[in-house]
């Protein structure tokens, strides 16, 4: 199954569109089923240094960031969507495009949940060049690119009340997901300088922890 990119319907909707609001509900269920937030809460904190700044790419509605903030993680959010009303007052929200964001040097730790798969190989290479210059830790959770996960989602999505946006975007997201060492290679993380650990969850989560070697 070759990696293919197609536009996601959510990207064409304003944040307050009813279909976008329903999609957020579906994403909460998807993240819960895949265990994504639990994995970040378990995996990220042991790698962090005291008060170390963390930037979440594609922070969306801010749910993961708020959960990590409660664990005293000093996390700022970056997204093209507006700042969520319940985003922690003490933390920054950067409403911008991650590909043109100029201040990666301020964040030694980068995380992303279901965001890297939205970009082409060339875009990932350009992003990776920015991250490699300053970042010491990258933690990411993405779709695992396997047809069985498309079939499983298509089977169970109607039972969960997923709308047309969620059903479409899940299918194309899985097709744009990753296998093996594809994501660290796309970001240009040389094994001579980066210790990269990739695992795949039972329900389709592709997980990367990349730590710069001392």
| pLDDT tens-digit series, residues 82-103 | 999 999 999 999 999 999 999 9
What's the pLDDT at 162? 95
Q: Report the interhelical angle of 164-175 vs 147-156 (nearest 10°).
A: 170
Give the DSSP letter of residue 110: E
Give the pLDDT confidence of 111-156 residue by residue, as tens digits: 999 999 999 999 999 999 999 999 999 999 999 999 999 999 999 8
Q: What percent of the chain has pLDDT over 70?
A: 100
Burial of 36 from C-beta contacts in 10 A (0-12 / 13-18 / 19+): buried
- Mean pLDDT across 51-76: 96
Residue 127 DSSP class: H
Q: What is the mean pLDDT of residues 25-43?
A: 94
Residue 11 in 3-state DSSP? helix
Domains of the chain, each with CATH number or no CATH:
9-212 (3.40.50.150)
Task: Please give the model's pTM, rounded to 2 decimal places.
Answer: 0.95
């Amino acid at each position: 199954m070759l990696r293919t990119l197609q536009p996601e319907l959510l990207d064409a909707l304003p944040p307050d569109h009813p279909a976008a609001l329903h999609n957020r509900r579906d994403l909460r269920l998807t993240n819960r089923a895949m265990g994504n937030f639990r994995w970040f809460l378990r995996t990220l904190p042991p790698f962090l240094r005291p008060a170390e700044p963390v930037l979440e790419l594609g922070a969306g509605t801010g749910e993961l960031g708020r959960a990590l903030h409660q664990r005293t993680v000093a996390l700022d959010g970056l997204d093209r969507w507006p700042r969520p009303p319940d985003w922690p007052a003490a933390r920054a929200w950067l409403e911008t495009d991650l590909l043109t964001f100029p201040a990666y040097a301020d964040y030694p730790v980068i995380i992303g949940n279901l965001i890297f798969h939205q970009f082409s190989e060339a875009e990932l290479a350009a992003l990776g060049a920015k991250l490699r210059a300053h970042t010491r830790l990258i933690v990411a959770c993405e779709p695992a690119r396997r047809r069985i996960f498309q079939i499983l989602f298509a089977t169970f999505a109607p039972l969960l009340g997923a709308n047309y946006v969620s059903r479409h975007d899940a299918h194309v997201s899985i097709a744009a997901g990753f296998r093996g060492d594809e994501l660290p290679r796309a970001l240009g993380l040389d094994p001579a300088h980066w210790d990269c650990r990739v695992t795949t969850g039972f329900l389709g989560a592709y997980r990367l922890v990349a730590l710069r070697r001392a």
